[in-house]
């Protein structure tokens, strides 16, 4: 295991009654993810129904258990044991990639031109640049099913909006810094909107609920307006959404 | 079990009344928050007094103002805050089970002692679970009496699973009722970033008196007081535990409660214990609180004692 993790890691940190924070890495890296997804599965096995919640995120895994049924000391022991034998999930070159259809258009992606301007590119180039890559889901948070994905091409890096929007339409595809995401529901938001997906990202009636999970590989696939509409996308432009 | 039917009808909604079970668990990895009663203590007692099992949905009434009419005979109990509740205009005693007849009116006034009252009915409020729980989280549109995360509104009917219950058989333990008006002493388990705060800031964190800001809700409670200095200003986002006390760059701590976001990137002093979260949830803006560093063993012992009293 030595050599994989930075000095002093992995480490267990106190995170409140009935929780341990497992710190594995100290920087954001796609190569972290197979270790995190493997540890998630290991913890499910090690804790069984004493487990309350697991929150993997970029470099860490928050493990929450029922302290009435499992003492913090015993939980710590089990985690150390699992960490000693931890092996990353195998990642074949042909590992499945989830495809997210996106209608990239200024009508639903008002910052598309801002990004083009910042990058010195045409709109089509921005779309190509964003949709060529395969991204990794580093974390879910902010809202149910909101997946933080990276890493975006350095040429598309743009800061957050100075004033966040009060209502970002559901399905909006956005970038900020080196991250990209799609908004599962109408929420406030300060990311740069570049398009919209007709896909339902979070569905309470669907098995697994969220389209994306931590560790997933994702590709954005450009579609045109007709296809977007055919798939039930909401074509209302931003101005009318406010 | 007999089928649930409307037991109480909302005749005035008040500012915020939400149906809560113990919380939504197992889905935080999907970005879904925990929900559930912010004062676990008051919620658990209300259920216990009418003989309900742990986890039974009960109403969390914030600030008061809620008015309900009984559509059939019920046994109910109010615990947690004293919000000047009345039954047909007469003061309704808290912390005990009472029989209510069809047509009687239950009304909450305004805070006398504490901020959130819990109303439980024998048999429990009935609602369809969403993602495994009826915990009501408005921001996510999940749970509650209608499954859509809505607060109670005028005209809503609250379904109750009928069950006979003996009135007044269960008395609260001596330590159950709390005077929420007194300064709150909050037990905090120090966290991994504690050494990143300056020595002076650490002294202040645990010796100064803090005030509950009016920016306080079910997501978190901001405390105002001395400005805490931390060498770290932000971190890579990571999972946040219940009660985590994060310190953003403005140096004013925020204690994160049940409806917190699942991940965040501010350094933390540590995490309040579950019972300290409950206590904080009963504080009104302007109230004085103190943070006391606690050890896991004593926090666990206190939590065991609390939970041991409930089925």
DSSP result, B106-122: EE----SEEEEEEEEET
Q: Is residue B177 part of a domain?
A: no
pLDDT at A242: 47
- Per-residue burial over B26-52, b if 16 or more Cβ lie within 10 Å, else e, is ebbbbbbbbbbbbbbbbbbbbbbbbbb
- List chain A residues with CB under 8 Å of B130: 204
The predicted complex's ipTM stands at: 0.96
Q: State the distance between the two ends of chain B, measured CA to CA, in whole angstroms.
A: 19
Looking at chain A, which residue has its C-alpha nearest residue B298?
A17
> Could you say which of A42, A58, A84 is where a domain stops?
A84
Q: Is residue B175 part of a domain?
A: no
User: Would you call A141 and B263 a contact, using CB atoms and an 8 Å cutoff?
Assistant: yes
Q: Cα dihedral sign for A160, A220, A141, B129?
A: positive
Q: Are residues A77 and A140 in the same domain?
A: no
- Per-residue burial over B69-100, b if 16 or more Cβ lie within 10 Å, else e, is bbbeebbbbbbbbbbbbebeeeebebbbbbeb
Model confidence at A10: pLDDT above 60: yes
CB B135 within 8 A of CB B20: yes
Model confidence at A46: pLDDT above 80: yes
B164-213 pLDDT, tens digit per residue, is: 766 666 777 777 899 999 999 999 999 999 999 999 999 999 999 999 99
Enter the DSSP assignment of B96: S
Q: Are residues A122 and A79 in the same domain?
A: no
Q: Cβ–Cβ contacts within 10 Å for residue B102, how many?
A: 11
What is the rounded average pLDDT of the residues A81-101?
A: 94
Q: Is residue A49 part of a domain?
A: yes
Q: Is residue A6 part of a domain?
A: no
Q: Are residues B88 and B152 in the same domain?
A: yes
The Cα of A75 is separated from the nearest Cα of chain B by a number of Å equal to 13
What is the rounded average pLDDT of the residues A173-191?
A: 96
- List chain B residues with CB under 8 Å of A60: 236, 238-239
Looking at chain B, which residue has its C-alpha nearest residue A60?
B238
Q: Are residues A63 and A176 in the same domain?
A: no
- List chain A residues with CB under 8 Å of B31: 140-146, 210
Quote the domain boundaries for residue A49: 11-84
Q: Are residues B12 and B135 in the same domain?
A: yes
> Could you say which of A36, A52, A84 is where a domain stops?
A84
What is the rounded average pLDDT of the residues A142-152?
A: 97
Looking at chain A, which residue has its C-alpha nearest residue B34?
A53
Q: Identify the band that residue A7 occupies on the pLDDT scale cut at 50, 70 and 90.
A: very high
Q: What rounded mean pLDDT belongs to chain A?
A: 95
Q: Are residues A34 and A119 in the same domain?
A: no
pLDDT at B37: 98
* d(C-alpha B117, C-alpha B135), whole Å: 16
- List chain B residues with CB under 8 Å of A15: 191-192, 239, 241, 244, 271
Q: Are residues A25 and A79 in the same domain?
A: yes
> Could you say which of A35, A52, A84 is where a domain stops?
A84
Identity of the residue in B238, B239, B300 whose CB atom sits nearest the CB atom of A17? B300
Q: Is the pTM of this model over 0.90?
A: yes
Query: Looking at the DSSP assignment, which residues form a beta bridge with residue B272?
Result: B188
User: Would you call B29 and A13 a contact, using CB atoms and an 8 Å cutoff?
Assistant: no
Q: Are residues A146 and A48 in the same domain?
A: no
Q: Are residues A156 and A40 in the same domain?
A: no
- Report the domain count for chain B: 2
pLDDT at A93: 85
Q: Are residues A214 and A180 in the same domain?
A: yes
The CATH number linked to A118 is 2.40.100.10
Token duo for residue B254: 């925020």
The low-confidence residues of chain B, meaning pLDDT below 50, are: 1
Q: Is residue B173 part of a domain?
A: no
Model confidence at A1: pLDDT above 60: no
The CATH number linked to B243 is 2.40.100.10
Q: Are residues A77 and A120 in the same domain?
A: no
The Cα of B308 is separated from the nearest Cα of chain A by a number of Å equal to 9
Q: Are residues B132 and B258 in the same domain?
A: no
Quote the domain boundaries for residue B16: 5-160
Rg of chain B on CA atoms, in Å:
20
Q: Is residue A110 part of a domain?
A: yes
- Report the domain count for chain A: 2
> Could you say which of B145, B160, B175 is where a domain stops?
B160
Whole-angstrom CA distances from A8 to A26, A40, B76, B150, B302 are 10, 21, 55, 46, 33
Q: Is residue A54 part of a domain?
A: yes
pLDDT at B171: 76
User: Would you call A27 and B141 a contact, using CB atoms and an 8 Å cutoff?
Assistant: no
Token duo for residue B61: 């009434």
Strand B220-224 vs strand B67-70: parallel, antiparallel, or unpaired?
A: unpaired
> Could you say which of B125, B160, B195 is where a domain stops?
B160
Q: Are residues B191 and B93 in the same domain?
A: no
Q: Is residue B170 part of a domain?
A: no
Question: A126: helix, coil or strand?
Answer: helix
pLDDT at B148: 97
- Cis geometry, peptide bond prior to residue A96 (ω within 30 degrees of 0): no
């Amino acid at each position: 295991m030595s050599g994989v993790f930075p000095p002093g890691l992995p480490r267990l940190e106190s995170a409140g009654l009935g929780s341990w924070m497992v710190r594995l890495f100290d920087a954001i890296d796609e190569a972290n993810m197979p270790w995190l997804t493997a540890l998630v599965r290991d913890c499910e096995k090690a804790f069984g129904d004493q487990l309350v919640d697991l929150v993997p995120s970029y470099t860490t895994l928050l493990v929450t258990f029922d302290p009435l049924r499992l003492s913090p000391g015993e939980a710590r022991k089990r985690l150390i044991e699992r960490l000693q034998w931890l092996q990353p999930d195998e990642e074949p070159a042909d590992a499945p990639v989830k495809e997210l259809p996106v209608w990239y258009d200024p009508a639903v992606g008002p910052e598309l031109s801002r990004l083009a301007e910042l990058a010195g590119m045409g709109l089509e180039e921005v779309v190509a640049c964003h949709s060529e890559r395969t991204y990794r889901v580093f974390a879910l948070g902010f809202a149910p099913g909101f997946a933080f994905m990276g890493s975006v091409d350095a040429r598309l890096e743009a800061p957050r909006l100075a004033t966040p929007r009060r209502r970002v339409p559901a399905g909006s595809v956005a970038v900020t810094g080196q991250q990209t995401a799609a908004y599962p529901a109408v929420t406030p938001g300060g990311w740069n909107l570049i398009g919209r997906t007709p896909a339902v990202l979070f569905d309470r009636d669907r098995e697994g609920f969220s389209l994306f999970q931590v560790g997933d590989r994702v590709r954005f696939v450009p579609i045109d307006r007709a296809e977007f509409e055919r798939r039930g996308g909401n074509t209302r432009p931003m101005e009318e959404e406010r | 079990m007999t089928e649930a039917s409307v037991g109480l009808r909302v005749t005035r909604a008040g500012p915020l009344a939400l149906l809560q079970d113990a919380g939504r668990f197992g889905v935080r990895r999907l970005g879904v928050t925990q929900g559930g009663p912010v004062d676990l203590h008051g919620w658990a007692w209300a259920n216990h007094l009418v003989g309900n099992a742990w986890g039974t949905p009960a109403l969390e009434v914030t600030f008061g103002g809620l008015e309900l009419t009984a559509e059939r005979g019920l046994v109910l109990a109010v615990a947690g805050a004293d919000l000047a509740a009345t039954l047909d205009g007469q003061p309704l005693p808290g912390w005990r089970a009472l029989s209510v007849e069809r047509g009687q009116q239950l009304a909450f006034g305004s805070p006398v002692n504490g901020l959130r009252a819990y109303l439980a009915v024998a048999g429990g409020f009935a609602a369809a679970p969403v993602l495994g729980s009826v915990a009501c989280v408005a921001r996510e549109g999940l749970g509650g009496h209608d499954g859509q995360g809505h607060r109670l509104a005028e005209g809503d009917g609250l379904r109750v699973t009928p069950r006979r219950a003996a009135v007044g058989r269960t008395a609260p333990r001596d330590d159950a009722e709390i005077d929420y008006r007194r300064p709150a002493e909050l037990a905090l388990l120090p966290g991994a970033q504690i050494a990143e705060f300056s020595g002076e800031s650490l002294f202040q964190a645990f010796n100064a008196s803090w005030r509950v800001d009016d920016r306080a809700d079910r997501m978190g409670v901001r405390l105002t007081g001395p400005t805490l200095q931390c060498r770290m200003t932000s971190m890579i986002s990571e999972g946040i535990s219940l009660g985590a006390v994060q310190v953003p760059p403005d140096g004013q701590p925020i204690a994160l409660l049940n409806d917190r976001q699942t991940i965040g990137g501010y350094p933390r002093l540590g995490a309040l214990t579950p019972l300290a979260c409950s206590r904080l949830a009963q504080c009104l803006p302007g109230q004085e609180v103190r943070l006391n560093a606690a050890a896991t063993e004593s926090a666990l012992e206190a939590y065991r004692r609390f939970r041991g009293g409930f089925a």
